[in-house]
Chains A and B, each alone.
Chain A
Amino acid sequence: MPDQLFNRSISDLSRMLAEGKISSVELMQAVIARTKSVEPRIRAFNSYDEADALAQARASDERRAEARASGNTAFRPLEGIPIGIKDVISVAGQPLTASSQMLANFVSPYDATATVRLKAAGAICWGRLNLDEFAMGSSTENSAFGTTSNPWDLERVPGGSSGGSAAAVSAGEAIATLGSDTGGSIRQPAALCSVVGLKPSYGRVSRYGLIAFASSLDQIGPFARTVEDAATVLGVISGHDPKDSTSLRLEVPDYNRGIAEMARSGRKWKLGIPKEYFGEGLDPEVGAAVQAAIDEYRRLGCEIREVSLPHTKYAVGAYYIIATAECSSNLARFDGVRYGHRSADARDAVDIYFKSRAEGFGAEVKRRIILGTYVLSSGYYDAFYLRAQKVRTLIRRDFLEAYKEVDAIVTPTSPTPAFRKGEKAASPLAMYLNDIYTIGVNLAGLPGISIPCGFTKATPTRVELPVGLQIIGQPFKETELLAIASAYEQRTHWRERLPKL
């Protein structure tokens, strides 16, 4: 199965394309055929445009032929590779729905900066991937257009909010994808679907063209089959953007070269294990898989140290104040006046707001807008928002303190493997606790990655399910983070296991 074109890595396919063994059109056709075959079961996409994707592939093949004719064999890093895009990242002329009724018929007239950079690198922008409405959720069940299934067990969720992006890579419906991560929305579904998911440092990738959920936490990042592929995509999309003042003016390193150099140098990493992340609520089999991965690092010669992140217990609370406060303001623009859903029953301006938003937003989005509006209200601001910001500072300080002793921190990505659809739908709090290990990373603005680290054992009620290992890096030290992830990946073979579809 890994030999099928649609299951190969970017690095493999790039080589095959460069050697002329396949064309981009053939690759795209293989991905389309695979998508058509599994999509009725997976439902990773909100929409895709075959003809457009094939036209992009043809254009790529033509570029390649022209380059060859002029003796140029240095191809762009993603030339001819189909990359799926989460349906909150804008691609000019394509739908941009955020999996919400509010934007069910919206087509974006402009490209996100990440999209501009993918196109400039030769990638094929392939399809619009499902998510929890406006990226609010951890299961993709909050999508207004239906839930995506976990390729490893179709009865289970793929995680979220970037569930479509994770499932598509896992199921062979795209070679890599883009997601966005506000509190774990890339790493958690990557863990639940056994793929690599990377959240870059805050400010590494431009947010221009990403529908904002919580502006101070959101980052775009890649899903891929290998750490190397994730590094390749990150290299393409990262870097300062004059259209996003929160994107940093920092040089973008050649991540893969950096990874290779660090591997050659045989650097022995110091890894921190935060005791607060291994307590109550952690599924024993997830814990065991993560422990085995830590042991693997030890065998690699890494030094493993216990570290403490004492303010961890406040992270979920602070997160749900800051994220909801920002979202209550960010989502105000969806009012039915200029674009998006407008209630047919609206009588006047106020009515347009009330009815369009009542009809256009789902329950979880409304819950968060109400919560966010409340915490910003006059008289409550200091007690909630301001205090949450202070907690945020303490959480960042915890991490920076730990980094005085260790190069990176290793934790489980998610406390449990993929859960059944509907299992947690009734309890928002239980759902929020899914992100308990990932939220601190966003609050602290750090880079984090989830890589496959094994499977739970099959039981009468549960098939074998993927487990993810989260590695948390230092600010803007993505190369080190990727090198640490790669060192483990090179010693294991989890990638060879594919879901049976």
Chain B
Amino acid sequence: MTYEAVIGLEVHVQLKTRSKMFTRVATGYGQPENTLTDPVVLALPGTLPVMNKEALDKIIKAGLLLGCDIAPVCKWDRKNYFYPDSPKNYQISQYDQPICRGGSVEIELPGPSRNVMGEHKKIELTRIHLEEDVGKLNHGDGVSLVDYNRAGTPLMEIVSEPVIRSADEAFAYLTALKAVMIYGGISDCDMEKGQLRCDANISIRPVGQTALGTKVELKNLNSFSFVRDGIQHEIRRQIGVAQTGGVIVQETRDYDGEAGVSKSLRSKEMAHDYRYFPDPDLMPVEVSDAWKSAVRATCPELPFDRQRRLQSEYGVPYTITSVLVPDRELGDFFEEAARACGKPQAAGNWIANDLLRELGAARQTLAQSKVRPQHVAALVKLVEDGTILSNAAKEVFIDMFQTGEMPDVIVARKGLKAETNMDELEKWCADAIAANAKSVADYKGGKESALNAFKGPVMRAAKGKADPKRVDETLRRLLSQ
């Protein structure tokens, strides 16, 4: 029997807000333990939550970008459970009225090769709701300590429909989701900082069956690769169980990405009763059309839309757009350079190849780069109008990456200007022809490639600064006289 997998993902994304979800203390990562706290975060007796509007703006933006229906009212519920990382022992969340319903994430599946665009499809969403993050337990030698710095950070839970069919699709979904979040300025989605976390619900069923199989929840998938590996592993495990006549039990399993193994955490019988009820401390907030419109006005073009536009309007190939587009700043950088020089393909090549290579080698971010779009545009122009040659341009690029000087300044400083003294070029070409009678005969006898025999001596004489195009023209002219 052949089986197919049915996968739904629950992705938690921390919103990039200055302050926490229900109080004014700052959000942050890597601060000394328990410094990002206040009486509200620590749930001291008598404290009350007050909603952070910026968080609501951001989740509405996420919902609009993903095509969700935005609820007319934002309502809060309490999810009750005891755990030491949860200061109130309830989490303020949204139960029956999530702020966003429906919507979808456009994904791109791996193409036949890295240079070829893969198939696109849409993964439907069930809902997106807002809640508060919990603190972090640090387990030491016989003691566990709690750090509440993370507690109360605005957290979005994005739940997909069970329509993901493979580990690769799950990977593509996360990649696309992350790009949208970064484009919207909603989150940086840095998994190492816990800004994006993913749980997967996985079941299998015989191909052709419509009913869903028993699902297993996989937790602690702490990188995109571990999500892919963990799902693959779980599908194999379930198929193995099914094929050997076993029964797949509903449970939560912990996936160890390093070791590539999973183990059961808890079964369905131990599932919590969260005793949800509306939070009486927070009044429902009306999300008016005016509010939604104001947020909509801040929504950027989606990454895949931008990629399609760059390809069709600018004629930039997929190999370049697939590098430039996922990073919004890089895409903006490219568009600015392309507009400034009018040669999008050339600008794209410089940015996708040379700039990224140099940034990587120097371990710099784009923001730190001394090369700005106007540098790239100016360099493209110098090459296009023949002022410098491509070899020289490479040298200029590395120099401007280090110094931040404009390319014309570097060309002047280094004397890299292409040779344009026609008298000298005429002489070098005439000398080369005079020195090689055999090739002259060959060329005149119709052997086109014989022309190359003269180019080496001319370039040597010009110390590499001659424009190959002009050399070619001059040689042909002299030989035809």
Q: How far is A96 from B51 in the complex, measured between Cα atoms in Å?
A: 26
* Per-residue contact bits, chain A 35-64, to B (CB 8 Å; 1 contact, 0 not): 000000000000000000000000000000
- Bound-state CA distance A150–B307 (Å) is 79
Q: Which residues of A contact B89 (CB under 8 A)?
A: 332-333, 335
Query: Of B48, B273, B280, which is within 8 A of A216 by CB?
Result: B280
Could you tell me the distance between the alpha carbons of A246 and B146 in the complex, rounded to whole angstroms? Answer: 31
Q: Which of A202-210, A430-438, A451-459 contacts B (4 or more CB under 8 A)?
A: A202-210
**A contact residues around B224 at 8 Å (CB):** none
- A103-111, A188-196, A421-429: which lies at the B interface? A103-111
Which residues does chain A contribute within 8 Å of B283, judged by CB atoms? 245-246
B39 partner residues in chain A, CB cutoff 8 A: 109-110
Q: Once the chains bind, are B87 and A338 in contact (CB under 8 Å)? A: yes
* Interface 1/0 per residue, B44-82 and A, CB below 8 Å: 111111110000000000000000000000000010101
A94-135 interface (Cβ within 8 A of B)? 96, 98, 103, 106, 108-110, 112
Task: Count chain B residues whose beta carbon lies closer than 8 angstroms to a beta carbon of A.
Answer: 30
Is the beta-carbon distance between B46 and A246 smaller than 8 angstroms?
Answer: no
CB distance from A56 to the nearest CB of B (A): 21
Considering the chains assembled together, what is the distance between the CA atoms of A335 and B277 in angstroms? 21
Nearest opposing residue in chain A for B39, CB measure: A110
**What's the least CB distance linking B258 to chain A, in Å?**
26
**Residue A353 interfacial (CB < 8 Å):** yes
Q: Is B138 an interface residue (CB 8 A)?
A: no
In the complex the two chains form, what is the Cα distance from A96 to B45 in whole Å?
A: 8
463-497 of chain A: CB within 8 A of chain B: none
Chain B residues lying within 8 Å of A90, measured Cβ to Cβ, are 45-46
Do B280 and A243 touch across chains, with their CB atoms under 8 A apart?
A: no
Question: In the complex, what residues of A have CB within 8 A of residue B102's CB?
Answer: none
A240 CB, min distance to chain B CBs, angstroms = 12
A212-B46 CB under 8 A given contacts A333-B88, A353-B82: yes
For A108, the chain B residues whose CB sits under 8 A away are: 44-46
Q: Which of B42, B43, B50, B78 contacts A245 (CB 8 A)?
A: B50
Which A residues are CB-close (under 8 A) to B44? 108-110, 339
Check if A261 is an interface residue, CB within 8 A of chain B.
Answer: no
0/1 interface trace, chain A 150-179, chain B, CB 8 Å (1 if under): 000000000000000000000000000000
**B84 CB within 8 Å of chain A:** yes
CA distance A421 to B84 in the complex (A): 40
Known interface pairs A207-B48, A244-B48. Does A333 touch B80 (Cβ–Cβ under 8 Å)? no
Residues of B within 8 A of A109 (CB): 39, 44
**CB of B282 within 8 A of chain A?**
yes
Stretch at the interface among A140-148, A271-279, A371-379: A371-379
Question: A378-430: which have CB < 8 Å to B?
Answer: 378, 381, 385
Contacts of B87 in A (CB 8 A): 333, 338
Residues of chain B within 8 A of A89, CB atoms compared: 46
**1/0 contact trace for B266-281 toward A, CB 8 Å?**
0000000101110011
In the assembled complex, which residues on chain A have CB atoms less than 8 Å from the CB atom of B42?
338-339
Residues on B with C-beta less than 8 A from A245 are 48-51, 281-283
Q: B314 an interface residue at 8 Å Cβ cutoff?
A: no
Closest chain A CB from B54 CB (angstroms): 15
CB distance from B353 to the nearest CB of A (A): 53
Between B45, B51, B146, the greatest number of chain A beta carbons within 10 A of the residue's beta carbon is seen for: B45
Majority SS at the chain B contact face:
loop
Nearest Cβ in chain B — how far from A372, in angstroms? 9
User: A207–B281 Cα gap in the complex (Å)?
Assistant: 9
Nearest B residue (CB) for A134: B45
Which of B46, B82, B276, B282 is within 8 Å of A208, CB to CB?
A: B46
A243→B277 CA distance, assembly (Å): 22
Which residues does chain A contribute within 8 Å of B47, judged by CB atoms?
208-209
User: In the complex, A178→B78 CA distance in Å?
Assistant: 29
A215 — which chain B residues lie within 8 A by C-beta? Answer: 280-281
A286-341 CB contacts (< 8 Å) to partner B: 325-326, 328-329, 332-335, 337-339
**CB-defined contacts of A96 to chain B, threshold 8 Å:** 45-46
Name which residue of chain B comes closest to A348, CB basis: B144
Also in contact, A378 and B46, with CB within 8 A (given A245-B281, A329-B90, A332-B89): no
B46 in complex: contacting residue of A209, A216, A337, A373, CB < 8 Å: A209
CA distance A325 to B49 in the complex (A): 19
**Is B48 a contact of A332 with CB atoms below 8 Å?**
no
Which of A96, A335, A353 lies at the interface centre, i.e. has the most chain B CB atoms within 10 A of its CB?
A: A335
Q: Which of B78, B82, B83, B277 contacts A381 (CB 8 A)?
A: B277
A3 to chain B, nearest CB (A): 38
Question: A-facing mask of B241-285, CB < 8 A → 1, else 0?
Answer: 000000000000000000000000000000001011100111100
**Smallest Cβ-Cβ distance to B281: which chain A residue:** A215
Report how far A207 CA is from B89 CA in the complex, Å: 20
**CB of A211 closer than 8 Å to a CB of B:** yes
Given known contacts A242-B50, A245-B283, A373-B275, A332 and B45 CB-to-CB distance under 8 angstroms: no
A69 / chain B contacts, CB cutoff of 8 Å:
none
Shortest beta-carbon distance from A333 to chain B in Å: 4
A495-B46 Cα distance, complex, nearest whole Å: 34
What is the distance, in angstroms, from B122's C-beta to the closest C-beta of chain A? 34
Q: Choose among B42, B43, B46, B275 the residue with the greatest number of A CB atoms under 10 Å from its CB.
A: B46
With a cutoff of 8 Å between Cβ atoms, the chain A residues found around residue B83 in the complex are 349
Query: Complex Cα distance A328/B280, Å?
Result: 13
Report the Cα distance A55→B80, complex, angstroms.
Answer: 44
Q: Whole-angstrom distance from the CB of A33 to the nearest CB of chain B?
A: 32
Residue contact B84 to A349, C-beta cutoff 8 Å: yes
Q: State how many angstroms separate the Cβ of A73 from the closest Cβ of chain B.
A: 36
A98→B273 contact, CB < 8 A: no
**Distance of B95 from chain A, by nearest CB (Å):** 11
Pick from B46, B49, B80: contact of A376, CB under 8 Å: B80
A243/B43 in contact, CB under 8 A: no
| B123 CB to nearest A CB, Å | 30
On whether the beta carbons of A243 and B88 are closer than 8 Å, the reply is: no
Question: Which residues of B are found within 8 Å of A106, using beta-carbon distances?
Answer: 45
- Flag if A376 contacts B277 (CB, 8 Å): yes
CB distance from B414 to the nearest CB of A (A): 62
Q: Are B46 and A244 interface neighbours, CB within 8 A?
A: no
Residues of A within 8 A of B277 (CB): 325, 329, 376, 381, 385
Supposing A376-B277, A377-B275, A378-B273 touch, asked if A332 and B46 sit within 8 A by C-beta, the answer is no
User: Which residues of A are found within 8 Å of B273, using beta-carbon distances?
Assistant: 377-378
User: Are A337 and B280 CB-contacts (below 8 A) given A108-B44, A373-B275?
Assistant: no
Q: Which residues of B contact A373 (CB under 8 A)?
A: 275
Report the minimal beta-carbon distance from B144 to chain A, rounded to whole angstroms: 7
Chain B residue nearest to A325 (CB atoms) is B277
A211: chain B residues at CB < 8 Å are 45-46
Within the complex, what minimum Cβ distance (angstroms) separates B61 from chain A? Answer: 22
- Contact assessment for A332 and B280 in the assembled complex, using a CB-CB cutoff below 8 Å: no
In the assembled complex, which residues on chain B have CB atoms less than 8 Å from the CB atom of A103?
Answer: 45
Give the interface of B toward A (CB within 8 A). 39, 42-51, 78, 80, 82-84, 87-90, 144, 146, 273, 275-277, 280-283
Q: Report, nearest first, the 6 A-B pairs whose CB atoms are least far apart.
A: A332-B89, A216-B280, A376-B275, A215-B280, A209-B46, A333-B43
Give me 11 A-to-B residue pairs in the complex whose CB atoms sit less than 8 angstroms apart, sorted by A's number: A106-B45, A212-B48, A246-B282, A332-B88, A335-B82, A335-B89, A337-B84, A339-B42, A376-B276, A381-B275, A385-B277
Given contacts A211-B45, A215-B280, 16 further A-B contacts (CB under 8 A): A89-B46, A90-B45, A208-B47, A209-B46, A211-B46, A243-B48, A244-B48, A246-B280, A328-B275, A329-B275, A333-B43, A334-B45, A338-B43, A338-B87, A376-B80, A381-B275
